[in-house]
Amino acid sequence: MAYVENIYAPEVFVSGAVGINRRDGNAHITFATRRSSYPSAGVVESADVVSLRVILPLAALRQMVAELTAVLEEEERPQTPPPGAQSH
C-alpha cells in the first residue's frame, strides 16, 4: 500500500501509555507526558498530563504489537560490528 505524505501530520512525544480499554472492536489507548511546573522558587512539581488518545481497530492493534515486538527483538540482539571494524 502506498502512503500519501502529510507534512502537517502532528508528531507527539509521550512518556508512556497510561490506559487502554476495548469497546466495540476498538482499542482506546491513552498516553501521558511528564510535565513539571514551578509554583515558587526552588519548588518543582511534576505530573503526568494526558497528551494523546488513539483509537485503533483491534486488527490494527495486533499488527502494531507484532511490529513493536519485532523492533524490540531486533534491539535486544547482540550487535555485530561491520566487517573490518576495529574493537577497542
Express each pLDDT in 6-62 by its tens digit. 999 999 999 999 999 999 999 999 999 999 999 899 999 999 999 999 999 999 999
Question: Is residue 87 pLDDT above 70, yes or no?
Answer: no
Give the pLDDT confidence of 61-74 residue by residue, as tens digits: 999 999 999 999 99
The answer to the question of residue 9 being in a domain is: no
Report the number of distinct structural domains present in the chain. Answer: 1
The answer to the question of residue 81 being in a domain is: no
Nearest alpha-carbon partner for 56 in 74, 33, 31: 31
Q: Which domain holds residue 39?
A: 16-76
- For 21-25, the CB contacts below 8 A with 24+ separation are 22/58, 25/57, 25/58
The answer to the question of residue 8 being in a domain is: no
- Stated pTM of the model: 0.73
Q: Is 15 left (phi over 0), alpha (psi -120 to 50) or beta?
A: alpha
Mean pLDDT across the chain? 92
Write the CA distances from 75 to 32, 51, 68, integer angstroms.
24, 27, 11
The answer to the question of residue 37 being in a domain is: yes
The answer to the question of residue 87 being in a domain is: no
The answer to the question of residue 82 being in a domain is: no
Tell me, what's the pLDDT at 84? 77
